[in-house]
Amino acid sequence: MSNIFAAIAAQSLQNFGEDPVCAHVGDVEMCTVKRHPTYRELRNQVRLGRAKTKSNLRTWESIVTLAKEGDKSEREKWLLIALDLVTSNLDGWARDLARTWHYEVSDIKSAIMEGLLKKWNEAPVGETSNKLLDGMIKHAFDCARALVKPPSKETCVEDVSYWTPEVFHAIEATVLASSIIDSRSVLDPDADERVRGERVGALLHRMGAMSHVNEIHEKIREGVHRRANAPVITPAQVGRSWVDGKNIYYRLSDLLPQYIGFKEAAKAVGLSESQASRRARSGSSPFRVLWVGNNRVVTLASLMQALNIPDPVLHPDDVENGAFHASGGAHQTD
């Protein structure tokens, strides 16, 4: 690739075109900020070099959160944006280094990209976005300088054909959670799925939330409900999907708001707002933060993970059946 910086910029511009981009929460319709720039405008606004502003750093923090959460395609899209915003500030330095050492600028840019990705992939959980940015730039400089220092003329790029690493699970976690059935209660996976859905439906009925749930179910069946992380059906679930003609399974989190206020999230994990702020600055926050203007929000998925709340896969029929039974409908007669 002759210019990896240009290729990443071109792909990011292609992903968004001239549509507005929300670098706050990732979805223009879900964001409370009224005006959003195009990606081209955003790229010109955000500067992550020495002159970076507080506003730029908040945008960077939100982009890091979006690139580390959500489904694979969304993570890859925001990781490309993160790399593009960083490399847009390193283009001149790469050219200066190439002229000084009489080296191919394309090789230097590839070395810079390797350094950026290496730090991104090796960053410890909970590291602050500012520290991550500083570490990425340091790794980029180190890789580029190591490339041009004599006597070596070899590129230090090994493999940058991927944007996010494959997820490797620990040996003891080789069995999927959905495959583990409590032998004391339900032995059949299909029955376990239905019981799980009915229990959720019964709980939602008692909470008085089924009218909201039924509206979402209708949209899911019509295929218009936004599901960024729709679960992949298992072979055992193909039969039910065949009956409906499509995969209408969803996760419990699809019924809930996508984001929650920072103060409310802090309270949920037993912290005051000031304690949560200090932990966010130190990199020990239990959840990730998104900036919407001057306000902070937390993704519900991140909060659920921090509280060890499961996000089970559900089928609309099971949830509705559970609510029907909880309402006493099964005992009503004509």
- Same-domain check for residues 103 and 51: yes
> Is the residue at 155 inside a domain?
no
If asked whether residues 119 and 9 sit together in one domain, one would say yes
* 132 and 264 share one domain: no
Q: What is the mean pLDDT of the chain?
A: 80
Same domain as 326, residue 206: yes
In a shared domain, residues 63 and 122: yes
Residues 208 and 272 in one domain: no
Full-model pTM: 0.65
Is 179 among the domain residues? yes
Residues 192, 114, single domain; the answer is no
pLDDT for position 234 = 67
Residue 163 clears pLDDT 50, i.e. is over it: no
Q: What is the pLDDT of residues 127-145, one digit of tens each?
A: 888 899 999 999 999 998 8
Same domain, 8 and 143: yes
Is 67 inside a domain boundary?
yes
Confidence of residue 178 (pLDDT cuts 50, 70, 90): very low
pLDDT at position 244: 59
Whether 279 and 205 map to the same domain: the answer is no
Q: Quick one: 102 and 195 in the same domain?
A: no
Please report the DSSP string for 107-174 in residue order.
Answer: HHHHHHHHHHHHHHHHPPTT--HHHHHHHHHHHHHHHHHHHHSTT---------S-SSPPP---GGG-
Say if 161 falls within a structural domain.
no
How many domains is the chain built from?
3
Say yes or no: 30 and 125 in one domain: yes
Of 44-48, 245-249, 288-292, which range is least confident? 245-249
End-of-domain residue from the set 148, 182, 207: 148
- The answer to whether residue 160 sits within a structural domain is no
- Same-domain check for residues 300 and 224: no
13 against 157, higher pLDDT = 13
Domain limits for position 266: 259-306
What contacts 24+ positions apart, CB below 8 Å, involve 105-110?
A: 105/3, 106/1, 106/2, 106/3, 106/4, 107/147, 107/155, 107/157, 108/144, 108/147, 108/148, 109/3, 109/4, 109/5, 110/1, 110/4, 110/155, 110/157, 110/160
